[in-house]
Every structure is written in structure tokens, then in C-alpha cells.
């Protein structure tokens, strides 16, 4: 592993997390803010990553989708408790291509695909029966055909500007390595614990 490439370090740490975490090593906290700077955070799942960034998918009309459209500056945090590690990422979210969204949507379980059509994510719901009825209607509509990706459902790629690797140490003498994007690549350094 090269110390100058944060994606190489992430690859090693992510592989170790996938081997040790009981559930959802790809779970990451996503912090967004409205255009008025009101913050919110929730857990989303990392579905792809490479040197371009970190990808997750969502309903574009959900609260997070609306916040991303208003203010694309975000932060991600992976916390792998079993490894006593976390990775913090700060960057800008950009929409994935329609082809990327279509390809990923096609891999989702059918009920998840139907749910993307049935749900007005983040909006008030009178009762569970309303959602269950909508789900049944969508299931009937697409009963004999593949479920297409709805236009309001897509993905975002977080293009990192800063990636910090935090390793727990005894007595809170943690190790913090930080990589910051520069014109010629990445600059690397350490932070006090």
C-alpha cells in the first residue's frame, strides 16, 4: 500500500471491515445541509467506489435528495467498531450517470425496486396501510415485466476533497492520517489526536 494514495489505504481498510463487521461494513453516515445551512445526518450504504469517489443511491425527492440539490457539499463517515477505526470524507456530491443508476437499479431485489416506485420517501404517511396499498398497486402494474428505474431515483458520487483515517489507540492517543486533494494529486499528513 502506498501512503500517498488514500484510495489504496481505503481499499485495505474496507476489505478488513468487510471481513470483520457483522452487518453492513458499507454503512456510512451521510451529513448534508440545506441551502440555509441546516444540517442533517443519516446512514446510507456505499454501493460503489473508485478513484472518482464514493457512490450511494436514493430517491431524489427525499429530504437528502432535496438537500443535495440545494447544497452539494457533504461529509461521509464510516465507523467500523470492531476494528476501532473510522474514515471521514468531505467533498462534493455529483449525480451519477443515468447508465450507472440503471445498471445498479437492475441489481436490486424486485421488492426494493417496487418500493422505489411506491414510496414518497421522507414525506408524511397517514398510515402503513396506505403504503402497503401503493406497494400492491405497483407490484400489480409491473407483474409480468422488469421493473424500470423511476426517474426520481438515482445515485450520487461524493468526490472527496479530504479523507481522514482514524485509528483508535489506548489512552486516546489515536492515529489520524489525512489526505487533502491538491492540483497535482493528494497531499498527506497527520493530525494531533
Closest residue by Cα to residue 86 from 144, 13, 24, 184: 13
First to last CA, the chain: 23
Clarify whether 66 is annotated catalytic: no
Q: Of 52, 172, 176, 181, which residue is the catalytic one? A: 172
Residue 185: other Cβ atoms inside 10 A: 10
Question: CA 158, CA 187: separation in Å to the nearest integer?
Answer: 19
Question: CA 40, CA 27: separation in Å to the nearest integer?
Answer: 16
Catalytic residues: 172
Amino acid at each position: 500500500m502506498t501512503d500517498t494514495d488514500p484510495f489504496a489505504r481505503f481499499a485495505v481498510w474496507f476489505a478488513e471491515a468487510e471481513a470483520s463487521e457483522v452487518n453492513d461494513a458499507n454503512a456510512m453516515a451521510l451529513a448534508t445541509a440545506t441551502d440555509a445551512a441546516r444540517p442533517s445526518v443519516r446512514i446510507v450504504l456505499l454501493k460503489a467506489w473508485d478513484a472518482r469517489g464514493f457512490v450511494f443511491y436514493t430517491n431524489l425527492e427525499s429530504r437528502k435528495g432535496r438537500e443535495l440539490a440545494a447544497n452539494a457539499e457533504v461529509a461521509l463517515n464510516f465507523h467500523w467498531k470492531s476494528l476501532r477505526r473510522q474514515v471521514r470524507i468531505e467533498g462534493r456530491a455529483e449525480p451519477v450517470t443515468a447508465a450507472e443508476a440503471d445498471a445498479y437499479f437492475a441489481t436490486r431485489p424486485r421488492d426494493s425496486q417496487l418500493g422505489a416506485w411506491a414510496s414518497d420517501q421522507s414525506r408524511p404517511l397517514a398510515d402503513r396501510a396506505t403504503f402497503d396499498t401503493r406497494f400492491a398497486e405497483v407490484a400489480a402494474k409491473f407483474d409480468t415485466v422488469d421493473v424500470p428505474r423511476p426517474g426520481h431515483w438515482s445515485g450520487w458520487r461524493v468526490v472527496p476533497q479530504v479523507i481522514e483515517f482514524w485509528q483508535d489507540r489506548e489512552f486516546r492517543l489515536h492515529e489520524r492520517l489525512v489526505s487533502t486533494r491538491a492540483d497535482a494529486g493528494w497531499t498527506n499528513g497527520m493530525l494531533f489526536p
